Amino acid sequence: MNAPDFRNNGFIRRPLKLVWMQSGGCGGCTLSLLGAEGPDLITSFEAAGIEVLWHPSLSELSGREASSLLERVRSGEEPIDIFCLEGSVMRGPGGTGRFHIMSGTNEPVMAWIEDIAQKARYVVAVGSCAAYGGITAAGDNHVEACGLSYDGEHAGGLLGGGFRSRAGMPVINIAGCPIHPAWLIEVLHLIGTNRFTTSDIDEWERPLAYTTHLVHHGCARNEFYEFKASAEKLCDRGCMMENLGCKGTQARADCNIRAWNGSGSCIDGGYPCINCTAPGFEEPGHSFTMTPKISGIPIGLPTDMPKAWFVALAALSKAATPSRLRDNATAQQLKAPLPNRQKKQS
């Protein structure tokens, strides 16, 4: 992408140069990012004063031209402001990184990632794989996948928990599987105006812009939740927390406040929230669509909800559940409309 003419109060400001690399992942975060709306991705980059030096899907450079550019960045000859990594770092086998070699070289990609990260003013982990290891690190993790500064819930990763970029920031973890386009775009705009600091991230270094919310906020099934009118199987319309593993009351993200692809969220699509912005979400210890319970009480209770309170409130809520909600909860389509008590029946 060509450098934008970025003007601020009549002065031309140097564009922020961004390099994006992909490692152990599916490319889903890029795919999601390409769906950015109002404005589209290119317009958003231009508005933030971002010049994309290289992105594997957006750039024309490939082969030797691309590796030559990355080599100049790595050596410091080509300065960069923002380094984005998508996908986990592949350290196997035995910490050599030889499972993932940079094309045209004999070096592991993880060596390139480490060197380029040291040159950037800001380092951004795009997606839960780059942040914590994510899906790529699930199971026995034979590829030794990890995040940039985390290995699951443990600080470390490739760069180490104490890593600080040239701007004095830790790795900015825009966690999600995949990310919402606006989560990244907001961060880039704040960086572009020199207004993104450590006060803008939470304890997992995720942007507070979206982690001050719960997925539960704005959920279209909240009335079912309030009365504990629960779905029993996928495609039922009721709340999916009690039986189907939904973690929306624990997951920090604004998925039900700003729509994905202009329409909705995982829950709107009929699938429970799996808390994909959290480290270790890929290893829940049970099926994603099952709620583990002890004596009938869900193990994963809402954030800050004492068990005794939940039991008492759930019992009261179920006793007061309107028949409309009880019937609709286990239906695939809403079949019982709201009653209108104002209209007299003849």
Q: Kindly report, residue by residue over 208-259, the tens digit of the pLDDT.
A: 999 999 999 999 999 999 998 999 999 999 999 999 999 999 999 999 999 8
Output the pTM of the full model.
0.89
Is 47:188 a contact under the CB 8 Å cutoff?
Answer: no
End-of-domain residue from the set 210, 243, 268? 210
Q: What is the mean pLDDT of residues 135-149?
A: 96
pLDDT reported for residue 85: 98
pLDDT, tens digit (0-9, with 9 covering 90-100), for 49-89? 999 999 999 999 888 999 999 999 999 999 999 999 999 99
Residue 301: which domain range? 213-334
For a pLDDT cut of 70, what percent of the chain falls above it? 92
End-of-domain residue from the set 186, 210, 234? 210
Same domain, 133 and 218: no
- Would the pLDDT of 311 be above 80? no
Q: Give backbone dihedrals phi and psi of 116, rounded to 5 degrees, phi first.
A: -70, -35
Residue 111 sits in a domain of what CATH number?
A: 3.40.50.700
Same domain, 197 and 218: no
Is residue 221 in a domain? Answer: yes
Same domain, 45 and 193: yes
Is 143:151 a contact under the CB 8 Å cutoff?
Answer: no
- Would the pLDDT of 129 be above 70? yes
Give the chain's domain count: 2
- Cα 328 to Cα 110, 215, 338: the distances in Å are 51, 22, 11
Is residue 143 in a domain? Answer: yes
How confident is residue 9, by pLDDT bands cut at 50, 70 and 90?
very low
How confident is residue 309, by pLDDT bands cut at 50, 70 and 90?
low
Is residue 104 in a domain? Answer: yes
Is residue 340 in a domain? Answer: no
Distance CA 163, CA 241 (A): 37
